[in-house]
Amino acid sequence: METKVGRIKLGPQGQEISEQGLGCSSMSAFYGPPKREPDMINLIHHAINSGVTFLDTFDVYGPHTNDILLGKALKDIRDRIELATKFGACIVDGRREFRGDPAYVREACEGGLKRLGVENIDLYYQHRVDTRFPSKSRFQPENLGHNKHLFERVNEMARRKGCSPITACISLDPSSRGWDDVCPNTSNH
């Protein structure tokens, strides 16, 4: 009997993603040596065929080789998945550097689109905060209540779904949007 993964809405705009995602970092980097490309492409296709259609990568994975791998796996099936990738860290002279300047963000996005072989990314977000570009709202006392509320909502979803509690580091500017676009109302899931 084959089990299909359910779907949930991500935010108020109606974007739907699979309830379970596939983080692809260990396919090309971290947690041991890179894995064999044909095996990873088969794994990605198996995940998609099982309903895991929310795939996550980052240009630092490899670096860049994870994007290329995912691009090969998604050839001719891009319309079946939701694609997430990140910016915020890069390798400069063999050292990791956190960047959030507009020129880097654009360069990282355009490079990711090219390596992935896609025309759009469904979710593009900041993986590490560049503290050289201060957010007017980050870590301000008036936002502690919002951050605690978000943390509690994410943990409540994890408890209801029988998952391990998670720890997340999210950099958001709550003055630019409501919190429900990040973490949907958990009573509906």
- Which residues does the annotation mark as catalytic? 61
CB 146 within 8 A of CB 179: yes
Q: Give pLDDT, residue 39.
A: 96
Q: Give pLDDT, residue 75.
A: 93
pTM confidence score? 0.68
The Cα–Cα gap between 83 and 66 comes to: 13
Q: Give pLDDT, residue 104.
A: 84
CB 28 within 8 A of CB 69: yes
- Extract the residue ranges of the chain whose pLDDT is less than 70: 1-2, 133-151, 153-155, 157-189
The Cα–Cα gap between 22 and 43 comes to: 10
What are the residue boundaries of the structural domains of the chain, listed by start? 134-189
Q: Give pLDDT, residue 56.
A: 92
105's tokens: 């963000």
CB 49 within 8 A of CB 73: no
